[in-house]
Structure 1
Amino acid sequence: MDEQAKKTALRGITYGLYVIGTKVGDDVNAFTGNWVTQTSFTPPLVAIGVKKGTASCDGIRESGVFSVNVLETGQKDLAFQFFKPVSRVGNKFGDVEFYTATTGSPILKDALSWFECRVTDTVDRGDHVLFVGEVVDAGVHRTGDPLTLRELGLFYGG
């Protein structure tokens, strides 16, 4: 296989940029992720990819729930805040406010929109775990265009 061709082809997959949260025991956790896709309309199913060996992956396995916060174009700084571990103090991750709803997973007040899922299936392969979840709640804070990796000049794949 031509490695450069493979990398170029895989980088052609388009990605949004999201803050994915979960409930970890009595605590909450969140990270920036981009492997998110809807897999079914009825029931409404969404799949996310989460890196193995992380607190978030372990938290989703343990709790069986996650939230996806859809970021708005221009929210690069918000996305970058969750590239590294962040500490929770009350209802904030640093200066980012959140609240909880149906699953107890964090929902960012500044996100464009959000949805929460209960895990229905898990696929454990390679260096990530694929969690499929049924959407159990959702909300819209405002209308706008979602943030994408392309906007940031970042690439994933290869």
Structure 2
Amino acid sequence: MDKQAKKTALRGITYGLYLVGTKGEAGVNAFAGNFLTQTSFEPPLVTLAVKAGTRSQQEIAQSGVFSVNILESGQKDMVTAFFRSITQEDNQLAGYPFYLKETGCPIFEDALSFFECKVVEKVEKGDHFIYVGEVINAGVHREGDPLTMKETGFYYGG
């Protein structure tokens, strides 16, 4: 297989870029995620892939819940802040205010919308865990166009 062709082809898959919230013994956490898709209408299910061995992956495995925050086009700086380890200060992560709802995972005030999930299945494949989450709560803060990987110039995959 031509490795460059494989990389180019896989990078052609379109992705959004989201803030995924978790919770654990050290408090709440969030990371920039893009391996996410809706997989069922009824019940409402999404599939999320999370790199194995990370704090976030371990927190989802232990708590069985996560939140997904849909960011708005132009919020590259916000998502970039979550590419590294972050700490909680009061009701902020990386300087961005959040609140909690049903799962106890962070929901960011600056996000367009959010949904919260309860893990109903997990699979370990390759270097990621794949979580199937049932959407148990959702909300909309405002209307807008969602942030995409393409707009940021970032690449993940291949």
TM-score > 0.5, shorter chain as reference:
yes
Matches within 5 A, 1:93-132: 93-132=93-132
Say if 2:7 is the partner of 1:7. yes
Tell me by how many angstroms 1:137 deviates: 0.1
- Does the aligned pair in 2 maintain the 1:70–1:113 contact within 8 Å? yes
Could you say which residue in structure 2 is the equivalent of 1:53?
Answer: 53
Runs of 4+ off more than 6 Å = none
Residue equivalent to 2:21: 21
- Per-residue deviation at 1:43? 0.3
How many angstroms does 1:26 deviate by?
6.5
Q: Which runs of 5+ in 1 are unaligned?
A: none
Could you tell me how far apart the structure 2 residues matched to 1:140 and 1:148 are? 18
Q: What secondary structure sits across from 2:61 in the alignment? A: helix
| CA distance, structure 1, for counterparts of residue 34 and residue 143 of structure 2 | 20
Q: Aligned equivalents of 2:156 and 2:91: distance in 1?
A: 31
After superposition, residues 70-85 of structure 1 pair within 5 angstroms as: 70-85=70-85
TM-score normalised by the chain length of structure 1: 0.97
Structure-1 separation of matches of 2:94 and 2:6: 39
Aligned residue pairs total 158
Q: Secondary structure at the match of 1:48?
A: strand
Give the partner amino acid of 2:37: T
Q: What is the distance in 2 between the residues matched to 1:2 and 1:120? A: 37
How many percent identity over aligned positions? 59
Superposed CA RMSD in Å reads: 0.9
Partner of 1:34: 34
Tell me, yes or no, if the aligned pair for 2:10 and 2:157 is still in contact at 8 Å: yes
- What is the distance in 1 between the residues matched to 2:107 and 2:67? 7
The secondary structure found in structure 1 opposite 2:50 is strand
